[in-house]
């Protein structure tokens, strides 16, 4: 616990966390860089600050994608990947940035990496399929998108079937437009409620956050991130038993979800079940042995 305590007393670290929570990612990154400039690179306490720095760069990269600035997005996402190279989402977002700039071969390489890390990553299959369709490999592309539809029922099957029929009848442009609709329809509502829930959680509006996360899950229950965030909110309102069920649901969907395993340990600790907490912390450390915060938690139960 000592390393975390030292960081929590560091004014740059505290300010970085605050800015990260507020969505001011560039300013947050600058604060975490200040932390790292003042501690030895090999110091275990630096790992947590470095992790948050990677998170800030990742969020900034996604923000640049939303602003349609793919070059700036690529710069930030590559920085984040230097810190967290095994994060499938980062490879996926980098692929989107590269594809926006017409660098399809590089984009496909990043999507391949994302799917190597997470073979059930529906959006990566979908993006890979769209790139293949746009570059003339329509049959392969449709097969990839079909895999996404099979993995994630939030994608409307009827839209996929109609797009496939349009391809088979030679109507390529209409088929691509139908696939573009498929990429956004249904998932937008889930993303809206998920983001609104996260915003409410950051402001401490826990009841509203729980409502929004549950709305997202009612549209499709197969999102590990939503279960994890719902669990965190329930834990913050002293509903540890309900929170544990959400963390377990997240791990059922994604068995390599380190944060959910750590959070499940926290829920067990809150319930007074120290052996179960230790088991979850050990499971998290098997996936991420350098997680200093989890090492400290394991030593305290």
CATH number at residue 112: 1.25.40.10
Domain boundary among 149, 169, 185: 185
User: 199 and 291 in one domain?
Assistant: yes
User: 108 and 144 in one domain?
Assistant: yes
72: exposed, middle or buried (C-beta count within 10 Å: 0-12, 13-18, 19+)? Answer: middle
User: 192 and 181 in one domain?
Assistant: no
Whether the predicted model's global pTM rises above the 0.75 cut: no
Contact 277, 265 (CB under 8 A): yes
CA distance 170 to 29: 49
CB neighbourhood size of 278 (10 A)? 18
User: 217 and 139 in one domain?
Assistant: no
User: 180 and 193 in one domain?
Assistant: no
What count of residues does the chain have? 301
pLDDT, residue 5, reads 45
Domain boundary among 50, 67, 84: 84
Distance, CA of 29 to chain centre: 18
pLDDT, residue 196, reads 80
User: 200 and 177 in one domain?
Assistant: no
**CATH number, residue 6:** 1.25.40
pLDDT, residue 99, reads 94
The structural domain count of the chain equals 3
**CA neighbor of 259 nearest in space, from 237, 213, 226, 234:** 226
| Residue with token string 């590990």 | 224
CA distance 9 to 253: 36
What are the CA-CA distances from residue 55 to residues 51, 178, 237 (Å)?
6, 34, 26
- 67, 70, 73, 75: CA torsion to nearest 10: -150
Domain boundary among 84, 108, 137: 84
**What domain range includes position 129?**
87-185
User: 151 and 120 in one domain?
Assistant: yes
pLDDT, residue 185, reads 56
User: 96 and 124 in one domain?
Assistant: yes
Radius of gyration of the chain, Cα coordinates, nearest whole angstrom: 21
Phi, psi of 273 (to 5 degrees): -100, 80
User: 45 and 6 in one domain?
Assistant: yes
User: 12 and 75 in one domain?
Assistant: yes
Q: What is the pLDDT along the chain (301 residues), one digit of tens a residue?
A: 344 444 555 688 888 888 877 778 889 899 889 888 887 776 666 777 888 898 899 989 988 988 889 999 999 999 999 988 888 889 999 999 999 989 999 999 999 999 998 888 888 999 999 999 888 888 899 999 999 988 877 777 888 888 889 888 888 888 888 888 787 655 556 776 888 888 888 888 899 899 989 988 887 788 889 999 999 999 999 999 999 999 999 999 888 899 999 999 999 999 999 999 999 999 999 988 888 889 999 998 8
User: 259 and 157 in one domain?
Assistant: no
Contact 251, 257 (CB under 8 A): yes
Q: Name the helix (H) or strand (E) containing 83.
A: helix 70-83
3-state secondary structure (DSSP) of residue 250? helix
CA distance 17 to 76: 18
User: 211 and 269 in one domain?
Assistant: yes
CA distance 47 to 52: 9
pLDDT, residue 152, reads 79
């Amino acid at each position: 616990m000592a390393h975390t305590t030292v960081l929590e007393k560091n004014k740059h670290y505290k300010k970085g966390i605050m800015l990260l929570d507020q969505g001011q990612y560039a300013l947050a990154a600058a604060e975490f860089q200040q932390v790292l400039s003042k501690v030895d690179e090999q110091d275990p306490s630096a790992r947590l600050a470095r992790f948050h720095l990677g998170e800030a760069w990742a969020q900034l990269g996604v923000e640049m994608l939303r602003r349609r600035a793919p070059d700036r997005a690529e710069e930030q996402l590559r920085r984040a990947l230097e810190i967290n190279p095994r994060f499938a989402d980062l490879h996926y977002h980098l692929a989107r940035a590269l594809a926006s700039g017409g660098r399809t071969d590089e984009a496909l390489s990043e999507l391949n990496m994302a799917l190597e890390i997470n073979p059930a990553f529906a959006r990566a299959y979908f993006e890979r399929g769209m790139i293949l369709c746009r570059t003339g490999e329509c049959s392969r592309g449709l097969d990839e998108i079909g895999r996404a539809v099979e993995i994630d029922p939030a994608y409307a099957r009827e839209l996929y079937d109609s797009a496939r029929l349009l391809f088979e009848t030679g109507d390529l442009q209409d088929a691509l437009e139908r696939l573009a609709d498929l990429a956004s329809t249904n998932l937008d509502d889930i993303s809206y409620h998920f983001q609104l829930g996260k915003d409410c959680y950051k402001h401490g509006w826990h009841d509203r956050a729980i409502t929004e996360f549950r709305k997202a899950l009612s549209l499709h229950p197969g999102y590990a991130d939503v279960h994890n965030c719902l669990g965190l909110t329930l834990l913050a309102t002293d509903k540890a038993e309900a929170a544990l069920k959400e963390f377990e649901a997240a791990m059922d969907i994604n068995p390599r979800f380190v944060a959910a395993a750590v959070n499940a340990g926290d829920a067990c600790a809150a319930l007074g079940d120290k052996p179960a907490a230790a088991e979850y912390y050990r499971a998290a450390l098997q996936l991420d042995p350098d997680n200093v915060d989890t090492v400290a938690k394991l030593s305290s139960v």
